[in-house]
Structure 1
Amino acid sequence: MKSFLYGPLLSFLLSTFFCELASSQNIDTVQHAIANRSNSSIQQQKPYVIMISVDGMRYDYATKYNAPHLIAAVKSGVVAEGLIPSYPSITFPNHYTLVTGLYPSHSGLVGNKFYDSKLNRFYVSKGAVAKEAHWYCGTPLWVLAEQQHMLSAGFYWVGSDVAIQNTYPSYYYGYNEQISLHSRINTVVNWLTLPEDKRPHLINLYFPQVDFAGHHFGPESDETRKAVLLIDSAINALQLAVSKTGLPINYIVLSDHGMTNINHAKPLQVPYNLIDTAKFRVTGEDVLVHIYAKDKSAIQATFSRLKNNTDGKYDVYLKYKTPKRWHYDSKNDRYNRIGDILLVPRHPNVFVYTKNGKPNIGAHGYDPTLVPDMKAIFYAWGPNIKSGLKVPAFYNVDVYAIVAKLLGLHINEQVDSNYDTARRVLK
């Protein structure tokens, strides 16, 4: 079990990902356990699911970098040719889509950064504001499970440390970068050796290393290769350790998006000279700029001005007239959190928000229809999952229905999942 933690992979991990260890004050590393919860007798008979997100793991990384354990899993389970992220293909919206079955425009989490005019507040994925439950709509899988008297556990998944619908997972951690992979594996094993009435049947686990490497060194880099192999080994170590419990565990290994090389040497400046900031608020990511009107009468003139000055490097959209395939327009914007005007760079361009801003080498967030590198991974294996099956790429909103059906949970609200995908994947 410990073998994957030694050698060059460990050196890479320690030198790159955990440089923050020197400053660990005020960081919550304690496991939170909600008292007085138990699995019902019916739920104790249900399957177990460990759902693992490998942030930024592109659809082709396993074969490209010869990740032996994921490749071997194909023979005993199901692999998709790709998992198609929802637009925009960025981390927080897509992690939340995976566990709610809702497009970002329907879940409320429309970006890593956005503005809510009703609240008159900005959402930022890092910081205290991200712990406020009113940003998160829909019913995440762990909330669905807890509502039906099935215990769940969350290790860093987006929203799992937030009291969504006044409910946390029975066991969870606040996000931090202090807990080693080895300790995380031990924690999962410990959860699965609890008495039946206290044992979580759904475990959500998150690994950021591949995304970090892809951003800072690029998807074709040796650092990304090492990160992929590190996580591949970690998943194998987890599986070996968990197998000793003798429990029938189903594994779902997926990612939120892929990664692509960008024109980081010549980023686009957000065209503030064309935007009257007395009449608009501006926020967003390097691949999507939201422009929110304080004065609605100024929208059309500003849109026209922006539209006429793109130099063919980015597209400008009014919120009511974006590509239908995005599900990201006025009609779909349930919580009015999408900008009135959107600036979308054409691949491989990205935006920076300051004069001396420097983008990363790799990025994501583009339309996956236009940039196939955005496609993510989907691997699944276990006693309740078909074996030796390769399926076409499918949309990540479908994952919610797969996991709910696998756990025998009832979905009691309308979601965006296609239930046919679950029937295709599960026994």
Structure 2
Amino acid sequence: MSFKVVRKPEGGDVSLLSPSNYDDDAPSLHSERSSQDDDSDDDKVLKGARTSADIRKYDRGVLEEEEERDELLERNRQGGKRRGSALEGISSGLRGLWSRSHVLLPGADDGGSANQNDKAEPEDKRRQRRIRRQMKKEKLMEDASYGEAGELMIEMEGGRMKEGSVTGSSSETDESDDADRRGLLNIRDKTVQRKKAKWAWCAIYLLIAVGFMALVLVAWKLSLKARFTKVHQNILSNGTALFAPTTILISLDGFRADFLKRGITPRLNAFVEEGISPVYMMPSFPSVTFPNHYTLVTGLYPESHGVVGNTFWDKELEEKFYYTKSEAMNKKWWGGEPLWVTAENQGIRTAIHMWPGSEAHIMDVEPSYLDKYNGKELLPNKVSRVLELLDKPGQEDNQAEIADMRPQLIAAYVPNVDQHGHLYGPNSTEIRTTISEVDTMLDQLFQGLEARNLTNIVNVVVVSDHGMATTDKNRLIQLEDIVDTSLIEHTDGWPLYGLRPKDPAHLQGLYDSLAAEAAINPNFEVYLRDVNMPERYHFSKNERIAPLWIVPKTGWAIVTKDEIDVVEAKAKGIVYHPRGLHGYDHEHPLMRAIFIARGPAFPHEPNSRVEPFQNIEVYNIICDSLALTPKPNNGTLRLPLKPIGLHSPDTSPPEPADPEPVPLKSVSPTNGTLSISPIEASPAADPEPVPSKSVSPTNGTLSVSPIEASSAADPNVVPPHMVGVDVPESSEDPNVDRPVVEDESSTTNDAKNWWAWFKGELDDFKGWVSDLSHGNGKNETQAQK
């Protein structure tokens, strides 16, 4: 390692801050300039400078001098334009006056030797030097944000040096500026990072949204494919139009199976002979309208589809379902998948006319055509509506709008028989007229099909939901007499009674007390839903079913005192309404329904007979007739049906009898008075007025009073409020005279039986009067003697 000896130049003071004093190769301050530039003044300053502060002071003085000179020159130039050439000398003198620098550095020779040796610099060299300095300054300012050059420029502009700089010393101000710069740089970096992170998350969210939309699109396309992809269907022509498999399903509410044997349904009887049917179809328990109509179109037991009655309480929803209220048409009540949803999802257009549940927007799938319930609609209008739907364009019309094309499933609801069965009873003359009117409606429909050459093209299926039983004031059970109603929070169903106790702890006690009452009165039974409910009812696996049930025998009704006071009704002979009821054991003969089918889906021998089945099978049968794939259900029967023979009188079951009347005939032996109370009509008897007679032994007077056999017998009788009964919304007066269709099977025999009874009673009365008169004559003779 070698050291170079630095020799102090002879003559004058030298400064170690001047590189040229100890480095022969040190370049001039303006070494980057061209060789033509004169750097003598700057080199003298560097050689004489002691500190960097002196150099900066000198630089500031030079810059101020040049700025003043430029300002004066500019003023003289402007003044010369105004005053002419006379001012040229003054301008030149001023320039000479300020041509030298009078700023002396502290380390220079005394007496201003440096200023005396200064030479005038050419004006053009100064101008070029200023331009170069300005360019260098601008370049440094451009790079001030990054790198060492930028930091040096900041130091030069601030008049201070950063710690560790080769050109200056540190200070508190330098450190503060440096910290500020670092803070600004950190803020900028964080802002940039946040922006980058924000855009990164936006990109992620966008990818997720695009992926989700893609999945939705794929699912939608798959659902469209499932909905509008049809299985291969046979197309039939009636000569003018093409028909895919088409089925008309008609429900006759309350049409009991044995109504076909009354001789007042020629069209339905002919329909039986043309098609295939069982002798009866069993409804589901309980045998009321809404549960069974929804079972017909879902194939599910009421416990499975959730509509367990016309009225019931839902513990989870804490709401009551009441079938006549608009709230019942909410999809939350309706489980399972009905026919119109199954069909629409598989590309089959449907038309639903007033069917219970069709207005509930089930599964958010609507029928192509929907007719809301209208209790005032006339029967001929229903026929016109069905034929109108069949006349719509089909596949043969390529110009037809999809929204106006023909449906392949038409389901229509006919409530008339049920309504009048409740009002007048199933054995009344009024119900016979209604049955005949419904039969006429079906005849008009079949004539319309024949006129369109659709008899062998369109399937027609006629069903009913349940039967009907006659009621009587002597077959009533007062609810308050058999249970403490103060312990009950909710009651479900009717004429059955489902009980929900306020305190579940009281359930067993209520059951025990009711069971004791049932042991005395055999006309009702008591069941616990989760313990001993009959399995054949399929009425236990749903929380909407009340935990405790009172099930009356067919023809009996359980009533509250708000409806009717049983003791008062019996004492005053008040007629109980409704006159007809259903909802009982679904296997009882009076609850039996009908099923009759005809069409290309039923290629059987006319008048074919199949084994009786339950209405859970109808859903599968209708699906098969339309080549639909049914949803899982409780039914097992599929097409083709398997006949077991033909209908004949030998295979027809006997007509069911109404519940046996309660005998009320009594004789008082103390006074010899005979009291004959109203006697119930026989099972098939017409409700004719029957006289009731009482005899006073004192005067032998005969008193005859009419007996109530029908609601039409006394036009002043006003039916009380009927809970759970479909009351017809008709503007007709129910007491107006209506045409009567006689029941050929029972009218003659009923009249004979009534006349024989009356004649026998009259003969007995005559004999008693004769004996009484003879006895009085003998007493008078003995007294005279």
Query: Under TM normalisation by the shorter chain, which class is it?
Result: 0.7 to 0.9
CA distance in 2, matches of 1:208, 1:346: 25
In structure 2, the partner of 1:307 is 515
CA distance in 2, matches of 1:73, 1:107: 32
Worse-matched range after superposition: 90-99 or 262-271? 262-271
In structure 2, the partner of 1:283 is 492
- Bigger CA radius of gyration: 2
Tell me whether 1:327 sits opposite 2:546 in the alignment.
no
Matched-pair contact (CA < 8 Å) for 2:231–2:627: no
CA distance in 1, matches of 2:622, 2:389: 19
CA distance in 2, matches of 1:66, 1:350: 29
CA distance in 2, matches of 1:376, 1:279: 34
Aligned residue runs from structure 1 range 403-414, under 5 A: 403-413=622-632
Structure 2 residue matching 1:285: 3-state secondary structure: coil
Matched-pair contact (CA < 8 Å) for 1:157–1:205: yes
Given candidates 258, 261, 272, the residue that maps to 2:467 is 258
How many pairs does the alignment contain? 382
Matched-pair contact (CA < 8 Å) for 2:601–2:640: no
| Greater relative contact order, per chain length (Cα 8 Å cut-off, separation 6+) | 1
CA distance in 1, matches of 2:339, 2:357: 11
Given candidates 430, 433, 440, the residue that maps to 1:223 is 430
Structure 2 residue matching 1:251: 3-state secondary structure: strand
In structure 1, the partner of 2:597 is 380
Structure 1 letter corresponding to 2:373 = Y
Given candidates 225, 235, 251, the residue that maps to 1:53 is 251
Aligned residue runs from structure 1 range 69-84, under 5 A: 69-84=267-282
Tell me whether 1:362 sits opposite 2:580 in the alignment.
yes
Structure 1 letter corresponding to 2:595 = F
Going from structure 1 to structure 2, the CA distance change for 1:356 and 1:75 (only over 3 Å counts) comes to closer
Going from structure 1 to structure 2, the CA distance change for 1:305 and 1:41 (only over 3 Å counts) comes to closer
Deviation at 1:422, TM superposition (A): 5.1
CA distance in 2, matches of 1:273, 1:394: 36
TM-score when normalising by structure 2: 0.47
CA distance in 1, matches of 2:499, 2:451: 53
CA distance in 1, matches of 2:300, 2:473: 32
Aligned residue runs from structure 1 range 58-207, under 5 A: 58-196=256-394, 198-207=405-414
Deviation at 1:64, TM superposition (A): 1.7
CA distance in 2, matches of 1:279, 1:240: 54
CA distance in 2, matches of 1:188, 1:356: 40
Deviation at 1:408, TM superposition (A): 0.6
Worse-matched range after superposition: 268-277 or 89-98? 268-277
Same amino acid, percent of matched pairs = 34
Deviation at 1:421, TM superposition (A): 6.8
Going from structure 1 to structure 2, the CA distance change for 1:279 and 1:379 (only over 3 Å counts) comes to closer
Tell me whether 1:249 sits opposite 2:458 in the alignment.
yes
Structure 1 letter corresponding to 2:464 = S
Deviation at 1:424, TM superposition (A): 2.4
Going from structure 1 to structure 2, the CA distance change for 1:40 and 1:368 (only over 3 Å counts) comes to closer
Structure 2 alignment gaps of length 5 or more: 1-226, 236-243, 396-404, 565-575, 644-785
Q: Deviations over 1:5-27 (max 9, x none)?
A: xxxxxxxxxxxxxxxxxxxxxxx
Worse-matched range after superposition: 256-265 or 75-84? 256-265
Worse-matched range after superposition: 39-48 or 58-67? 39-48
Structure 2 residue matching 1:424: 3-state secondary structure: coil
Deviation at 1:66, TM superposition (A): 3.2
Deviation at 1:423, TM superposition (A): 3.3
In structure 2, the partner of 1:274 is 483
Matched-pair contact (CA < 8 Å) for 2:228–2:345: no
How well do the aligned residues superpose, as a CA RMSD in angstroms? 2.1
Deviation at 1:213, TM superposition (A): 2.1
In structure 2, the partner of 1:347 is 554
Greater strand share, structure number: 1
In structure 2, the partner of 1:390 is 609
CA distance in 1, matches of 2:327, 2:268: 36
Greater helix share, structure number: 2
In structure 2, the partner of 1:316 is 526
Structure 1 letter corresponding to 2:539 = Y
TM-score when normalising by structure 1: 0.84
Deviation at 1:40, TM superposition (A): 6.1
Deviation at 1:43, TM superposition (A): 6.3
Matched-pair contact (CA < 8 Å) for 2:354–2:372: yes
Matched-pair contact (CA < 8 Å) for 2:339–2:619: yes
CA distance in 1, matches of 2:516, 2:257: 36
Going from structure 1 to structure 2, the CA distance change for 1:376 and 1:85 (only over 3 Å counts) comes to same
Going from structure 1 to structure 2, the CA distance change for 1:406 and 1:322 (only over 3 Å counts) comes to same
Structure 2 residue matching 1:309: 3-state secondary structure: helix
CA distance in 1, matches of 2:246, 2:481: 51
Structure 1 letter corresponding to 2:622 = V
Going from structure 1 to structure 2, the CA distance change for 1:108 and 1:356 (only over 3 Å counts) comes to closer
Deviation at 1:44, TM superposition (A): 8.6
Q: Deviations over 1:78-130 (max 9, x none)?
A: 12110101001111111111110001111101000001100000000101111
Q: Deviations over 1:334-374 (max 9, x none)?
A: xx1100100111232101233443431111111133x2110
Deviation at 1:279, TM superposition (A): 5.4
Q: Deviations over 1:228-268 (max 9, x none)?
A: 11111101101211333334111100100011123344422
